[in-house]
Chains A and B, each alone.
Chain A
């Protein structure tokens, strides 16, 4: 073989090796399931141009390696928040003011409190501003938590019990349904009705909550419980925001991963902006009432697959760009620190972690989300399944709902204590 031919062959070999190397660092195949069996093989691959390992937070990786979490990847799908919401954000910029001294916000009417495009990573109050944005939810003016169920799960044995509820939340502020942006006298932010209908011993228990439009976040919610066994309501104390919701693993503060306004926390901090794998475009059917009493009643939860509390293995996660925010609650709060990963473009949490006061990892929050077209055409984005996993107890409370935005025939008087009496039979 002459020299030229050898050179060509060598070059071809090198080229082939080069091609091979590029192929190894190339895209992870869509629909690949990342598990403890292949994590080390795939972590350095890319997916949509992002390193796979960088899109999996440390504790999520631990859950994959140690707890059986699997992540099936799919390509991201564009999500559009309603144009009215985005326009209201821009229109409100001139009026919304953040006071660094009090960490409170004034002047907000609708849309996001703060345009994410204006968030500066170096701003010491960026965390506060993004958590304020969580008050400008993406659900629409009325949140119909249709068929909402809580599933109590033991990590060893599976489903312990299921509670089935009816719930609606009516937002009195920031309304973009074509009517007035604000309802009432401006003192109330939102009203929520929750009524249990299964199992029999909780049937007819109802809760009505009023959250006030208080910039300081200090005014507690007003809550009434209706007890069907007593056939009357009872007003409850208002300090519940740090407390567990009933016997669940979820605090009231864990509603949508982070429910408290920033001023209730000692501090918040924007610690990063990154891409993670998230459940952002899941199916519409979260509760299949035709399969009640079986694991298939909740098709997006992995109730048949140990450890039973993660999303179903068939669920597909996609890359989403997120803010990463840490918060330090008050000393009397059960958590020492909470961390949240939420969509950059609008306030939609995907993933969260809670740590105890000794800094030990305690709970994981995985929320499945999807876009929804409200009954009035409003383009909402809402959580439809939530996984609140207490790793200390190896126990979880998952919730699922066929959530709907802006259902018809719901007005501010529909979500009321009176409604509670009517529904809680």
Chain B
């Protein structure tokens, strides 16, 4: 016994000493830092969307069955980060490829038929001549979504130079100050993150930290190096999947192209902005100025004589040239006029209500609107006029304690937002339209109200959400119920329904089975009936769909 105890003591001391030695040695050996990690990090995903139309899209003839997929889209995304000394590098590349479903084949047939009638087939958004080019990645430049370098000088100055996204403002779903870049609405709309379809631009940005003033200053300049189709928001004007009802299959680009070099709408003109963002007595606030392009394209019409004679065919009998110059195309140019915006935002947490209030206001002097020709098949094609406009947003965010009554694993973020566009010197005599080719006159106030709630179950592995919105000025709205599933580190599944309802929509003509066309009473083809009621959600009439998105990330 005694010998064993003695040995145990020796062993204990020896082990203790050894442990101390090892610990000390290990502590010394492991005194490392991972600062300045210069390795290349690559992440990304492979993703598939399969979408099913749940409604009849006017003009498509919809011989397909509800279970036939309307969209089968595949994507590879690479998100790379690297660091070389003090400079961080970022590259995001994306390669998209779609299957031409029966539905797209029908749209293609329709587009070709209409194009044939006019002996002209427009090129796709991407510049290619294949119908599917509008959905597929066709060039390296297109695939290189973002690439930029970031570095700091001293403690205050942070630079980011390259193709990037810059987002200012606080609004959800709609854009008040978030107008530095446009969006690509040809492939997807509500159900993706803004990041996925915002159009990055070649810009240089500097952030100057001023802690002594409780804030920082952002400045950016876009020198004008981007290709033309990078500016402004791109709509499916070629009659593709997300064309506004009733223009599915109607390729407006067969008659007119985008003009990225018009006077006052020239993509080579630099755009820039500055924003001060700070805190004052627990209120977060920002003040900004942006010179940019109008997000929505405008029609700069042709003359109604000479090459513009087609306009009279559609009932447009008088037009005003943009900046004194008529378009030389058949009907007109699509342009993005340059605008200025002066804006501010604020946010504050009201403890008594346990809610965060956000406000945003943006003043756009002389904002361009299409106007006139309301009785024609092409309302708004008479020209462009500027109106001083205020865009205002009020939003309240609140955490709803849904654990007890809905069984969530944590409180649920909910938010209600009112978004209003106010034309300051409005008069109905201006005959301003909401969107060219649609007869609904713009009103003094155009107000949208949206609501969402995000729920979380089973440790955030099953995440339902519900989004709803209404057009408080014109009626109609949308509902987006969705659920996100999380499987381990790699797999994600999202199921979503996008349900649109409207009070009024612009109707399309019935097609006969032989030619696919029926004569317009005005004698110029299926550009739709004359109507004055279709607001935003009328544009999505028949677009209700169900989408499954599966992702394998790495």
Contacts and interface: CB of A to CB of B under 8 A. Distances in A.
A31 B15 contact: yes
A156 interface: no
Given A29-B8, A203-B79, A395 B19 contact: no
A79 interface: no
Interface string B18-31: 01100100110011
Contact of B282 (A30, A222, A230, A402): A222
A81 B87 CA distance: 38
Given A232-B169, A238-B349, A284-B27, A19 B1 contact: yes
A247 B460 contact: yes
Residue from B34, B178, B456, B492 having most chain A Cβ neighbours under 10 A: B34
B68 interface: no
A58 interface: no
Contacts of A285: 30
Given A161-B489, A234-B397, A238-B351, A30 B12 contact: yes
Contacts of A418: 158, 207, 209, 216
Contacts of A161: 486, 488-489
Contact of A200 (B20, B26, B45): B45
User: Chain A contact residues (Cβ within 8 angstroms of B): what range?
Assistant: 35 or more
Interface string A74-97: 110100000000000000000000
Which of A19, A231, A248 has its CB near the most chain B CB atoms (within 10 A)? A231
A23 B1 contact: yes
A284 B194 contact: no
A253 interface: no
A397 B459 CA distance: 10
A413 interface: yes
Contact of A162 (B165, B282, B489): B489
A220 B356 CA distance: 13
Interface in A237-253: 237-240, 243-244, 246-249
B490 interface: yes
A200 B194 contact: no
Which range contains the number of B residues in contact with the other chain? 35 or more
A201 B30 CA distance: 32
A26 B2 CA distance: 13
A118 interface: no
Contacts of A422: 150, 152, 158
Interface string A214-229: 0000011010000011
A177 interface: no
A203 B399 CA distance: 23
A146 B81 CA distance: 19
A118 B196 CA distance: 60
A397 B409 CA distance: 14
8 contacts: A199-B43, A235-B349, A238-B354, A247-B461, A283-B26, A404-B33, A418-B158, A421-B207
Interface of A: 19-20, 23, 26-27, 29-31, 74-75, 77, 146-147, 152, 160-162, 198-201, 203, 219-220, 222, 228-232, 234-240, 243-244, 246-249, 281, 283-285, 289, 334, 395, 397, 402, 404, 407, 411-413, 416, 418, 421-422, 425
